[in-house]
Structure 1
Amino acid sequence: MTRSTPILAAASAAILLFTMGCKSTPKPAEAPQAAAVPESNEPRIYVTDEVSGDLTVIDSGTFATIATIHLGKRPRGIHASPDGKTIYVALSGTPIAGPDVDESTLPPADHSADGIGVFDVATNKLVKTIHAGSDPENFDVSKDGTQIYVSNEDVSAVGIVDIAKGDIIKSLPMGAQPEGVKVSPNGKFVYITSEETSTISVLDSAAGKIVATFKVGHRPRNVAFTPDGKLAYINAENDGTVVLVDAVKHKVLKTIPLGTPGQIKPMNVLLSPDASRLYVSTGRGKKVFTIDTATNTVLNSVEVGRRPWGIALSPDAKTLYSANGSSNDIAAVDLATNTVTKTVPAGTGPWGILVLPR
C-alpha cells in the first residue's frame, strides 16, 4: 500500500496536466466565409476605367460592385450591341496625355493593345478583342449590329469594322483628333467629331465615304441626334457651348452657352428618350447641365464630381449616372429633384458609362 501511493499520485498528476493542456490549446479558428455580393434585378451599370484598364460592373439597385474585369489598356468608348447581349469597348495602347502634355516626352505607343474588346453580358467576361485600327477612342454600332464605326485618333481617320470578320475593312481620312462617333437614327449617316480641326465629318454608311464636312465651334467631342434624325446637338468644349445642327443640311442653326469658356468645358451630350431634355457633362466644370430642347435654354445644373465625362440614363430615364474621372466614382442624379442621391467608387479613371437592364 505504501509503495502504490506515489505511483497513483504521479498518475493522477499526469492525467491532470494532460487535461489542463488539452483545455489550454484552442482549436484553430476557421477562416471567415466571404460574404456574397448582394445583387438585385435592377439594371447594371458598366464603367470603363481608363487608368486601371478595367470594366467596373455595378448593381444600380444596391450600388454594390458586382465585378471588376480587366480589359486591357485605356478602355474608353463603350456601347452595346442592338440586342444588348454584347458590350463593345475601345482599347488603346497610346499613352494618356492631357491637353498640356508634351507628347514627345511620353513612351511609344503599344499598338498591339489597340482594338475593340468584345464583352459577353451573360457571362460577365471579355471573350475577345477585334482589330479596329490605330488608337481607337470612341465608336458607334450600326443599326443592324454588323459594323462598328470607330475614331482612330492618332491617325486622323474613321475606320469601318466588320464585326463578324473581326477586322477593319475600310479607313477614311478626316479631321485631326477624331473622337465622338454617332450613327443617325435611320442609320444612313455617321457623324464623327474632330477635336483639332473643330469639324464634323459626315460618313454615308451605304456608300462608305465621307460626303460632307462642316465647322461647329471649337473642340467638338460628342453628338446626340433627335429621334427623327433632323437635328443634332454637339458640344464645343473650348467655347463652353452646345451647338444645335440641322442634320439634314449639315449646318449650324444655333449656339447654346453654358458658362465661362475654360471653366465650363462641355464633354458629352445625351438626349432623354422623348428628346425634351439634353444633358451635358462638363469635365473640369464638375457639373451636368440640363437644357430644355423646346427653348434651347439651360434649365439647371448639378455638381456631380471631379471631371464628369461619360453620362448615361437609367432605362426609365428617371436617373442620370455620370462617370467622374478624377473622383474615381460615379454619381447618381435624381432628375426629378436634380440632386445627387448616391456616389460610389468605380475603379481608377472612369471614362465611359453604359446602363443595361437585367
Structure 2
Amino acid sequence: MGEWGGEQVEEAVAGAVALLRTVTDRDWEKVRAGRMEWSCRRTAEHIASDLIAYAGQLAGRAQTAYVPFEITLDEGTDNAGALDVIETTGALLAAAVRTAPREARAFHPYPFRSANREGFAAMGVAEVLLHTHDIAEGLGLAYEPPAELCEDVLTRIFPQVQPGPAPWPTLLWATGRGDLPGRAPVTEWRWHNNLVLPTERLTLQGVTPAAAHDLRLGGDGGFAWIDGGLFEGTREAAGMVAKAYEGGTHRPEWGLFVLVRRQDGQAIGGMGFHGAPDEEGRAEVGYDLAETARGQGYATEALRALSAWALARDDVRVLFARVDRDNLPSQRVVSRAGFVQVSEDEEQLAYELRG
C-alpha cells in the first residue's frame, strides 16, 4: 500500500478549482451553497480555512486543541483570488502530509481526539469535494469527482458507513447531501478517525477499511513491518474487518489493531476483537506476534491496554480468549494480562477477564 494523501489532496483541489474558475464572473455572495446556510463565497472561504487548519495541525503536531489561528482574505479579494487561496492552502496541506512521519498524530476532536497524516488528508479531500458540491449546486453546475477519490475518503474516515452502489452518492448520503435507496436520510454525521491506544513501548493502531483491504490482498496496509512480522492471522483478521465493512456491520473500534513499536515505528503484530460485544457484553480477543518480537512482553503489554480500554466501557462486561493447548507462550500472555481459565476441550483452553 503506497503512501496516500498528498497527491489526493492536490487532485481534489485541482478538480474543484478547474470547475469553479469557469464561473468566477458570477456573484457568489448572493447565492446560497446548496443545502447550506452559507453563501457560495462564504463556502469557498471555508474550504481554504479548513485546508490551512489541517496543514497547521499536522505540521505543528498540536496535541490538545486546534492551533489558535485563522485565515482571512484581503478586503477586495475577488472569486478568482479566493480560488488562488484554495490552491495555495491545498498545496500546504499536501506538503504537510508528505513530510509528516508515518507515526505522527495531531489533535482532531472526532472521535478519539487525534488523526494521522492519512486522516488529515482524507478530511481535507472531503472538505474540498463536499463543499465544491455545495457551491456547484448553488450555481447550477454539474460536479462529480473521481469515484476512487470518494472511495478513498469513505474507507478512511467513514468506516461506519456501508458501501453503497457508487462511492460519490454514498459520500453525499453519509454527509446529509443526498438520498440512497433503502437508507434513511442522514441528519447528523461526523467522520471517524482511527482509534490509537498508547502503551509504554507500543501504539495499538486501529486498522481502517482501506488498510484492511490492502492487508487482505497481500499488501502491508500502510505499515512498516518488522521482518517476519505479518502473520497469516493478521491477514485473516483484516479480511474479517473488510467483510464486516462491506456488509455494513463494522464497528471501527471493535476490529483489528496493529502493534507498532515506539522506538522504531515498526509493526510487530496484530491484536483485536472478533467483533463487537454481544448482548451479554462479551467480546472475544485474538492476537499474533512476529517471532523476532516474542519473549519481550509486547503481547502482554498490548493485551493489558486493549483489555483496560474495553472493560472501561459500559457495553463490555467480559472478555474471553481461546488458546491452543500446545501454545504455552500464548497461555502465559493471557494469564499475565489477568485472564483466568474457565473451560477447556481437546484442542483449546478458554480464558475470561471480567470487568
User: After TM superposition, is the score higher than 0.5?
Assistant: no
TM-score, length basis structure 1: 0.25
Structure ID, larger Rg: 1
Which protein is richer in strand relative to its size? 1
Relative contact order: is structure 1 or structure 2 higher (C-alpha 8 Å, sep ≥ 6)?
Answer: 2
Which protein is richer in helix relative to its size? 2
